[in-house]
Amino acid sequence: MRLSSPAFSHNQSIPSQYTCDDVDVNPPLAISDVPAEAASLVLIVDDPDAPRGDWVHWTVWNIDPKTTSITENSVPAGAAEGTTDFGRTGWGGPCPPFNPDRSVGAGTHRYFFKIFALDTTIALPASARKTEIEAAMAGHILAQTELIGLYQRQ
């Protein structure tokens, strides 16, 4: 399975339009080589470099496994979005803290776009958080891959 973006390459900078410093919409994503037996896909985007630890930016589940792209500023039809660490559903783009002295939280953060192929669909409410999604996925992951984007506030 493969996940890529026409907006940025693996381990390269995410353009500011996808962050809190600009219009803050999700970047376009391309999905390929999904296992034929997959019943659904799950997308989790998080930042392990946040000062308080892992910060969840977006969760989307029950994505049709035939989906080959997620366009900019969109959610695949029929998919569900969970609650992020911003306290709401939907995309919350990179927004690392800016500290003038370049202390904790400053610098380049890594944003992990992780996609999972499951042998089932997930029945969770939109209030679900990453830990609940991961628990529902346990024992159902057929394949997974990730795309890492970088961002540093100027």
Structure confidence at residue 153 (pLDDT): 82
Q: What is the mean pLDDT of residues 36-54?
A: 94
Structure confidence at residue 103 (pLDDT): 53
pLDDT range class, residue 98, cuts 50, 70, 90: low
Q: Return the minimum-mean-pLDDT range out of 49-58, 94-103, 109-118, 135-144.
A: 94-103
pTM, two decimal places:
0.94
**Would you kindly state where each structural domain of the chain is located, as residue ranges?**
2-151
- Kindly report the average pLDDT of the chain as a whole number: 94
Class of the CATH-defined domain 2-151: alpha beta
Q: Is residue 100 predicted with pLDDT exceeding 70? A: no
Structure confidence at residue 53 (pLDDT): 87
Q: Is residue 101 predicted with pLDDT exceeding 60? A: no
Structure confidence at residue 105 (pLDDT): 56
Secondary structure (DSSP) of the chain: -EEE-SS--TTEEPPGGGSTTTT--PPPEEEE---TT--EEEEEEEETTSTTS-EEEEEEEEE-TT--EE-TT---TT-EE-B-TTSSBS---------TT--TT-S-EEEEEEEEEESS-----TT--HHHHHHHHTT-EEEEEEEEEEE---
Structure confidence at residue 50 (pLDDT): 87
Q: Is residue 113 predicted with pLDDT exceeding 80? A: yes
